[in-house]
Amino acid sequence: MDQYLVAFITGLTTGGLSCLAVQGGLLASSLERQLEREMLSRPVATGKKKLKALQRSHSRMALPILLFLGAKVAAYTVLGFLLGALGSVLKLNPVTRAVLLILIGLFMVGNALRMFNIHPIFRYFVIEPPKFITRYIRRTSKSEEFVTPLFLGVMTVLIPCGVTQAMMAVAIGTGDPWQAAGLMLAFTLGTSPVFFIVSFLATELGSKMETIFMRVVAVVVLMLGLVSIDSGFTLMGAPSLMNWAQSWMGAAPVAQTAPVSGGSGVLLLNATNDGYSPRILHAMANKSLKLNMITQNTYSCARGFVIPSLNVEQLLPASGRVVIDIPPQPANTVMQFTCSMGMYTGQIIFDLN
Amino acid sequence: MKKMFRILGMHCANCSMRIESIEDDLPGVKEINASYHKGQMVIEYDEKLVMDEQIIAAVKKKGYQAVPV
């Protein structure tokens, strides 16, 4: 659930405004024509009458904007499904998923550096749509037909902004069509309120505001990129920098020690919608271990449980218990475990006593 | 004739689309190929109908700065 919330908030805070530059412009140009035509078809009005006529025209603008946004949300959801399907066809094992996460992270970091305008080379981190597509979309936006906003909403999939492209990369990384569709749905829904308000008011961000805003977007994208790179390395079995940062800030996870019964240890590990609990487990060295994974209405990626060093990947049921056998480990072994996306992590420490 | 301009102030790939829309606004302009990656545009126009100053002004109106190369 967390990942959908993150996608929604990303859309709400950064995606909406970053895509407004062109997509909002397309919509506005289409609306302007309609507004203009409507005003011309009315008898000449002055003063209060003119103001009322203008307000009525503006209220009629709500429908095309809603059509545009509805079409956009639907198109991106379908796109998300297709990207997820592409990711699943690629048959991602933890290592390839880790590599993909690292590449996605580098793509995001490169995009953030592009937004900071560090060097023109970073401009190549954003994909430029082919000329025939941009030309076609530009000309269509000038049509006066009522279906135009609907069509333009769908067409926005061809001209995604940097933040949307990053979200599309994350959608591929899920390797699950439904999860990817959900992510893109949450993201585009998140972008809609800002898009609607700004389009409805038919105002544009001043260039100064735009510059400040781009900086904020760049910081967010940079952080998301670094988290993605960290998740990739975690999925490869490296200790998570996020965990390290959390413990450094004093939020140490609760530890649990495995009771030994009949020569093997038993540990309980809850996979919840917020990750794993407890995050640090202690077990006896040189003894086999039964790791009891417990889920209860768990729908987060914590269900995809991975122990990179043992090459274990287990999809847990939404509710239930799954036992994973872990062979004896030498003393002082720190075994990392993670979710399939490298987002939720933890470790089992093998001690002598 | 064809001419190349360096474009300053582009911040996204879609800025090139904004610049290319000058094709529809400025009579005498046949084709514009703007590239965000390269930060430039190549414009094909009829020099009898449009002058460099008009092109620079049209680009400025879109929010960018054009410098002849």
Tell me the per-residue pLDDT of A297-328, one tens digit each, with 9 for 90 and over. 887 778 889 898 888 888 888 889 999 999 99
Answer whether B24 sits within 8 Å of A138, measured CB to CB. Answer: yes
Task: Select the residue from B11, B19, B30, B43 to test the A interface by mutation, using most A Cβ atoms within 10 A.
Answer: B11
CATH number given to A250-351 = 2.60.40.420
Provide φ and ψ at B54, rounded to 5°. -70, -40
Q: What percent of chain A has pLDDT over 90?
A: 14
pLDDT band of A22, cuts 50, 70, 90: low
Q: Which H or E element spans position B19?
A: helix B15-20
Tokens found for residue A352:
């002598």
**Strand boundaries in B1-69, DSSP class E:** 2-8, 29-35, 40-45, 65-68
Is ipTM strictly over 0.85?
no
Fold for the domain defined by B2-68: Alpha-Beta Plaits (3.30.70)
Question: Least CA distance to A207: which residue of chain B?
Answer: B63
Give the residue from A13, A15, A6, A21 showing the smallest Cα distance to A204. Answer: A21
Answer whether B14 sits within 8 Å of A131, measured CB to CB. Answer: no
* A233, A235, A238, A241 alpha-carbon torsion, rounded to 10°: 60
Encode pLDDT of A123-152 as tens digits.
888 777 777 877 777 777 666 556 677 777
Residues ≥6 apart with Cβ < 8 Å to A23: A72, A152, A156, A159, A161, A195
- Does A49 score more than 50 pLDDT? yes
- Does A340 score more than 60 pLDDT? yes
Q: How far apart are CA A225 and CA A108, in angstroms?
A: 5
- Give the pLDDT confidence score for residue A317 in this predicted structure: 85
Q: What is the mean pLDDT of residues A207-232?
A: 75
CATH 2.60.40.420 in chain A, residue ranges:
250-351
Residues shown for chain B: 69
Q: How far apart are CA A241 and CA A207, in angstroms?
A: 37
Residue in A129, A159, A207 closest to B63 by CB = A207
- Map residue B48 onto helix, strand or coil: coil
Q: From chain A, pick out residues whose CB is under 8 angstroms from the CB of B39.
A: 120, 123
Q: What is the mean pLDDT of residues A62-86?
A: 89
- Give the pLDDT confidence score for residue B12 in this predicted structure: 72
- Give the pLDDT confidence score for residue A203 in this predicted structure: 45
Q: How many A×B Cβ pairs under 8 Å?
A: 50
Least confident of A107-111, A214-218, B59-63: A214-218
Answer whether B39 sits within 8 Å of A135, measured CB to CB. Answer: no
Residues ≥6 apart with Cβ < 8 Å to A50: none
Sequence ranges of the domains in chain B? 2-68
Encode pLDDT of B16-55 as tens digits.
888 888 988 899 999 999 998 899 999 999 989 999 999 9
Spell out a b/e string for A137-156, using b for 16 or more CB atoms within 10 Å of the CB, else e: bbeebeeeeeebbbbbbbbb
Q: From chain A, pick out residues whose CB is under 8 angstroms from the CB of B21.
A: 138
Q: Cα angle at A301 between A299 and A304, to 5 degrees?
A: 105
